[in-house]
């Protein structure tokens, strides 16, 4: 079945560095992808909606300059956490529309030290 491949699954980085997370749709084209953030034992919070060939739509309170989203092709969306700080440590997960619902990547656990 249709799958979204998300890499890396885990990453540890130093404060001040940038981290790129990739989300690829396999076997289908994803014109729209969604990026979520999940804190431990909490729900998924929508960060932004990524649209192929256009600017991402960010949710209120999400810093677009800090969380850069690029959706340059129908099968790839990337989230770059720039100048990462420990408070950016979280579980990031992407999803793509697969009617009637969505299919999710396996998530990326980011730890900023």
Q: How near is the Cβ of 18 to other proteins at its closest, in Å?
A: 23
Q: Please identify which residue in the block is written with the tokens 């030290």.
A: 113
Q: Choose one: 21-29, 71-79, 80-88, 95-103; the region binding other proteins (CB under 8 A).
A: 95-103
Structure token pair of residue 48: 């932004």
Sequence-ordered list of residues with C-beta below 8 angstroms from that of 64, at least 6 positions apart, any chain: 48, 56, 58
DSSP tag of 87: G
Candidates 95, 96, 110, 112; binder of other proteins (CB under 8 A) is 95
* Closest to 74 (Cα-Cα) out of 30, 27, 26: 30
- When asked if residue 20 is in the footprint of other proteins (CB under 8 A), the reply is no
- Range in contact with other proteins (rule: CB under 8 A) among 18-26, 44-52, 62-70, 76-84: 44-52
Q: Which of 58, 76, 107, 111 binds other proteins (CB under 8 A)?
A: 107
């Amino acid at each position: 079945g249709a799958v979204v491949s998300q890499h890396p699954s885990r990453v540890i980085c130093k404060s001040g560095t940038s981290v790129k997370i990739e989300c690829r749709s396999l076997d289908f084209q994803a014109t729209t992808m969604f990026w979520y953030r999940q804190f431990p034992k909490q729900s998924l919070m929508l960060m932004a909606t990524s649209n192929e060939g256009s600017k991402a739509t960010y949710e209120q309170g999400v810093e677009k300059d800090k969380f850069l989203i690029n959706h340059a092709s129908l099968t790839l969306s990337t989230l770059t956490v720039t100048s990462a700080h420990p408070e950016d440590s979280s579980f990031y997960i992407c999803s793509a529309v697969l009617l009637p619902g969505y299919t999710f990547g396996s998530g990326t656990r980011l730890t900023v030290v």
